[in-house]
Amino acid sequence: MCLLWDERGPYTVPTNIRRLSIGLGPWEHMSLRDVDDQYGDMIDFDYCERMSKMSPDEEPQNLDMLQRIVFPEERSRYKISPPPVGQQETELVQIPEVTPEKQSKRAKPACSGKKEIYPELPSERLSTQVNNNKCDNHGNRGDVTNYSRVRDAGNGSEVGSYKPVAEIVKETNQMQRHHSQIKHEGAKTPVRVTEQNPSLKVSEMKNTFDVPKKPRERTPEVQPALKKDMLRRVVRQSKFRHVFGQAVRNDQCYDDIRVSRVTWDSSFCAVNPKFVAIIIDASGGGAFLVLPLQKTGRIDKVYPTVCGHTGPVLDIDWCPHNDLVIASGSEDCTVMVWQIPENGLETALSEPVVVLEGHSKRVGIVSWHPTARNVLLSAGCDNQIIIWNVGTGEAIINLEDMHPDVIFSVSWSRNGSLLCTACKDKKVRVIDPRKKKIVAEKDKAHEGARPMRAIFLADGNIFTTGFSRMSERQLALWKSDNMDEPICVQEMDTSNGVLLPFYDPDTNIVYLCGKGDSSIRYFEITDEAPFVHYLNTFSTKEPQRGMGYMPKRGLDVNKCEIARFYKLHERKCEPIIMTVPRKSDLFQDDLYPDTAGPDPSLEAEEWFAGKNGSPILISLKDGYVSTKNRDLKVVKTNVLETKPSTKAENISTVQKHVSSQPSVKMEDKLEEVLREFKSLRDRVILQDRRIARLEEQVAKVAM
């Protein structure tokens, strides 16, 4: 369908035009005389006869495209042949022009049909339109309304005239040449019109009169910002978005291990760059395995274990400052500290370095201080927390009146100045242990009755996992100084396994491992909403009974390994490697910022005196090289000390000072070493002289 033109450009057709034909339904049984009397002055029967005799494939000559489109639609709908030419009577009817005021005053019919809107005719042309409105309810034929309008009244248009296509194109070309010589005030729409012969097709005519659409103008300053903002909302930029997990081969797993079946929500596994420790089932007491990392494959049933506890072991933790020292808590109400040989166990180890006795019920949590040497925390089912100086075997701090129920988890802050605890009373507490003061607490951090977990993040915020009132697993982020409202809360699923969080302070990634689940979910924590961003999920077929997490200094930086887990099955321990795919073999400093090293920044006495220290960082660019660890030495005044009572006051009275004598100075130690060196040198000289005499005697005998 085309648009017609005049001096003002393209225009559309009004609805009040007359048509050259009329469509009558088959239900209107009218005689030819009635049709001639009512519609003879408005219908061109010659035109109708030509159209009825024309084949559908034939192109009409000198025909207005408006009527070419409208009439076949009516013809296909009604199939009525026009009356004979002989019966046609011509009569000139003067149709008054209908103004908008008169048209608005005209009464509308009671039942009107659907209106049809047709394109507008060119100037100097009068058309007729007949609207037949049917009313099925009353069976009466609607009024026939005649509308006529002359678009340009000053030009004196003729009634009932029409123009062929060739004339329209010719007039349009003349109009274009005329307008090209006159300067217009506003910009005109370009017209793509070419000279056509009278046999112009409708499709070509349509392409000729189509107005090219202008592309929508975009503001160069606003559009890039909107696009960038949209991309930020859809895809978040992060170098950890493509982290993927991969389990190692079967020959690199630890098989035939009897993992503990104790009903306690701990990880049952602890890992450092040298050993992996796993709590196992043992008859006659509690025990755990300590395996070198390279000892993979099937583990013999008679492999030596650490078996000094008289009850099942509930929790174990490696010392961050000595890869040979591990602490264990048990149902026998004791905490034991063990020193493992450099090359692993060759015989069963049943004698600990020190036994820490102070709890009246089973000990379910043990945790080393992150920056101070020989400072160990233990929490038991007696609802108290004890902080020990392992070097002396003393209980220095006892927090016994802060938790009315069982303590689910305890976490140190980055520099070890604060504690974060989750209790069965649904409260999360931030505690200053040296002042024995609760800094902040949140009641009903998670409203569910299942156990919660709470850990400190590197920026001082607190990350918690728990259950909602509808037993849906949740994770939440809190500010440690103001815990009235969470920074964000996310619901995960409806599983009933406790979520164990493992946090990497260097990359701000939290790994969530649910007990009984077969997947590991990991999230990145940032300063942008929603603050806890889901990254990916690693899934396997077998459920996990526990999980061990390797420190950053034990990873393989050449493979872009950012985390390694040790998943406990029922009879197996399976390492899982988390990797960021990179093409380059060079060291990726953005993945491996400086991390906490094995050297402590404080001694135990300095920390108990109130001093704080941040972790001493090391670079992993050249890989971590372990140094020789010092032996753990415990100095006591009397080895035959009696067993301390359950109260902290009794502990302090039974355990006396470490030594009444002053500590040996460095100068005295140096002098002692020098004396030993001189004695060894003298002994070597004497032995050389003796060997020389013996050689002389042998030579004489030989002669």
Number of neighbours of residue 539 by Cβ within 10 angstroms: 11
The pLDDT, as a whole number, for residue 606 is 94
Angle separating helix axes 202-209 and 65-78, nearest 10 degrees: 130
Contact 242, 581 (CB under 8 A): yes
Paired with 368 in beta bridges are 376
The pLDDT, as a whole number, for residue 104 is 39
* pLDDT averaged per 10 residues in sequence order, the chain, 703 residues: 49 52 59 66 66 65 49 45 44 42 41 42 39 41 39 42 71 78 49 45 60 50 48 68 90 94 91 95 89 94 92 95 95 95 92 94 95 95 95 93 94 95 94 94 92 94 94 93 92 91 94 93 91 92 94 91 94 94 85 92 94 93 67 54 39 38 60 83 86 87 79
The pLDDT, as a whole number, for residue 650 is 40
Contact 557, 577 (CB under 8 A): no
The pLDDT, as a whole number, for residue 547 is 95
The pLDDT, as a whole number, for residue 417 is 95
The pLDDT, as a whole number, for residue 284 is 77
Sign of the CA dihedral running 166, 167, 169, 173 = positive
Q: Looking at the domain assignment, is residue 271 inside a domain?
A: yes
The pLDDT, as a whole number, for residue 190 is 44
Q: Looking at the domain assignment, is residue 300 inside a domain?
A: yes
**Residue among 449, 392, 396 nearest 423 (CA):** 449
Contact 349, 340 (CB under 8 A): yes
What are the strands, taking DSSP E only, across 541-640?
A: 546-549, 561-568, 572-579, 595-596, 617-618
The pLDDT, as a whole number, for residue 288 is 95
Count H helices, E strands: the chain? 10, 36
The pLDDT, as a whole number, for residue 129 is 40
Q: Looking at the domain assignment, is residue 344 inside a domain?
A: yes
Q: What is the pTM of this model?
A: 0.60
Q: Looking at the domain assignment, is residue 357 inside a domain?
A: yes
Q: Looking at the domain assignment, is residue 631 inside a domain?
A: no
Phi-psi region of 344 (alpha: psi -120 to 50; beta: other; left: phi over 0): left
Question: DSSP secondary structure string, 617-632?
Answer: EE--TT---PPPPPPP
The three-point CA angle 641-646-649 to 5° equals 80
Q: Looking at the domain assignment, is residue 299 inside a domain?
A: yes
Q: Looking at the domain assignment, is residue 215 inside a domain?
A: no
Q: Looking at the domain assignment, is residue 76 inside a domain?
A: no
What are the two backbone dihedrals, phi and then psi, of residue 355, each rounded to the nearest 5 degrees? -115, 125
The pLDDT, as a whole number, for residue 460 is 92
Give me the CATH number covering residue 404.
2.130.10.10
Paired with 576 in beta bridges are 247, 565
Give the residue numbers spanning the domain of 297: 244-596
Token pair in block for residue 109 = 């019919």
**Structural domains in the chain (count):** 1
The pLDDT, as a whole number, for residue 211 is 53
Contact 463, 454 (CB under 8 A): yes
User: CA-to-CA distance for 348 and 290, rounded, in angstroms?
Assistant: 10
Token pair in block for residue 260 = 């503990």
